[in-house]
Amino acid sequence: MIHVSSCCKSYGGYAVLDNVSFDVRRGEMFGVIGPNGSGKSTLLRLLSGLEPASGGTVAVDGRPVASYKRKELARWLAVLQQDALPPTGFSVREIVEMGRFPYQNWLGEEPEDKSELIESVMARLGLTPLAGHSVESLSGGERQRTALAKVMVQQPKLLLLDEPTTYLDIGYQIQLMDSIRSWQKEADLTVIAVLHDLNLAAQYCNRIMIIHGGRVVRIGKPEDVIVPETIDPVYGARTTVLPHPVTGTPQVLLNPSERFSTEK
């Protein structure tokens, strides 16, 4: 589905990504983690075709991502970002309808009526009562659900997540990730998720890649990657990793410094 080989990206002679290689299988949720400035969001921009790689190859479904026309690529992939939706003045329904743009002609028309699809997605995400509300009036969780509905009606085969839970409280984080995982399983959707929260990555991703300084540190199952000997030097922290009491997936606990841990 996705093949990245010896991928590099530089800005003004500074290497942001250096010799990054990995593959993502169809129907997989593949997590990308790493500290700030490690190159995670830059990698997503290369995968989405927004920027070209400085070296190496990025291929989607066996073709270089650069070979796709914009609308053609938009039928293949969608991106859900961390900042939900900017103030636009549009209603929730109007925003969701924008997800059909890749399939429309220059008059904004489609061969088939997709209103049933739009209504079903909005109902599924609890947005029907908010259909006429402006984006500016929504809470952070409602805005992110609206953004998710927009990419769902786009019907992509690949979904790129760029830290979509960053500004959400824990309840909305779980709600959003549960909705994405349910959609992924139903539609055999492939997901590449850049996540800031290591515990969310471990809970939802089949495999995880950790990058640091633009280089791949490790790729594997959560229990193989989320371990102190890998996490601690990358993040400059002291951690304890325990299995989740319900799911068994690794969960990270941060240890205070020795100075604080010995204070009374």
* Strand, coil or helix: 32: strand
Beta-carbon contacts of 60 under 8 Å, excluding residues fewer than 6 positions away, are 1, 2, 47, 68, 73, 76, 77, 158
The answer to whether 224 and 231 have CB atoms below 8 angstroms apart is no
CATH of the domain at 11: 3.40.50.300
Closest CA to 191 of 29, 26, 1, 4: 29
Over its length of 264 residues, how does the chain's per-residue pLDDT go in tens digits? 899 999 999 998 899 999 999 999 999 999 999 999 999 999 999 999 999 999 999 999 989 998 998 889 999 999 998 776 766 789 999 999 999 999 888 777 778 888 999 999 999 999 999 999 998 888 888 988 999 999 999 999 999 999 988 888 998 899 999 999 999 999 999 999 999 999 999 999 999 999 999 999 999 999 999 999 999 999 999 999 999 999 999 999 999 876 555 554
Residue 234: domain span = 2-261
Give the count of domains, the chain: 1
Q: What span, in angstroms and rounded, lies between the C-alpha atoms of 141 and 68?
A: 33
The answer to whether 164 and 80 have CB atoms below 8 angstroms apart is yes
Nearest-10 crossing angle of helices 140-153, 115-124: 150
DSSP 156-210: -SEEEEESTTTTS-HHHHHHHHHHHHHHHHHHT-EEEEE-S-HHHHHHH-SEEEE
The answer to whether 121 and 148 have CB atoms below 8 angstroms apart is no
Helix (H) or strand (E) holding 24: strand 14-24
